[in-house]
Structure 1
């Protein structure tokens, strides 16, 4: 009878271990701002052609972060071509991104604009980026640029 009880306890033990739920840890990319599907995003290098001469276009863009506001994470620069970047700000100043994401890939959801960036704004961005006083004073002309107002950002 004791052997039967021991066998029964062992069988119940084996089955209960086998029936435990197996959980797998899934890694999700961090989302800042409003959540959105990252599928079918446009490569940042293609954005100048898509925007063309239009004032603005609603789009999802994937690109590499070149620089981030070191004060709060309130803006970032995304590489468009070898020597141009797109300034990305966040809708209604509603969210910020980590300050250490330079070099990472992001997917942005929002609106791209053809815009002229004033000298004062350029100097402010340079100060936020930690540029030297000489570099800030060297900014003397408005700059035509593509800018982006993001409603959501996914850091990959």
Structure 2
């Protein structure tokens, strides 16, 4: 009788271990995201390199509907009302959210993301640049160094996915 109980217990342990391994494999093969704004999927997104190439073809006033997958660099530390995306080669895109309708978590820096919306190029005035620097928590000395407008890659997102 003791042998049957021991064999049954070992069988349960072995079956449990096998199921845990299957769960780990499944979770590694498919990234899970938290969703913000409009419901979007990660399907058919372009890479940061492809996005940078597209930005280089845009002139001020041009817009492009696009979905890009890349890492988040910075996020507004007051509300999560804007973020910057890594485009590679020390380039970044400044992202605002459509109609100020949603925010993202302030601790999502360096996470993978998928962002869908309109990409465009715009000149940002000095006052706005200083405001964003304050939101980032930059020092007064760093903010004082901002003295000229800047042509930037921008993005108006209608939906965002952030890796969990």
- 1:148 counterpart = 2:149: no
- 1:29 counterpart = 2:36: no
| Residue in 1 that maps onto 2:85 | 78
| Residue in 1 that maps onto 2:108 | 101
Cα shift at 1:87: 0.5
- Give the TM-score normalised by structure 2: 0.76
Runs of 5+ consecutive residues of structure 2 not aligned to the other structure: 1-22
Runs of 5+ consecutive residues of structure 1 not aligned to the other structure: 1-23
Deviations 1:19-52 (CA, angstroms, capped at 9, x unpaired): xxxxx8x884110000012111011222132231
Higher helix share: 2
| Residue in 2 that maps onto 1:39 | 43
| Residue in 2 that maps onto 1:115 | 122
Match of residue 53, structure 1, among 49, 58, 66? 58
CA distance in structure 1 between the aligned counterparts of 2:141 and 2:85, rounded to whole angstroms = 24
CA-based RMSD of the aligned residues comes to 1.5
CA distance in structure 1 between the aligned counterparts of 2:121 and 2:47, rounded to whole angstroms = 17
CA contact (8 A) 2:67 2:117 kept: yes
SS in 1 for 2:33: coil
Instruction: Give the ranges of 4+ consecutive aligned residues of structure 1 lying more than 3 Å apart after TM superposition.
Output: none
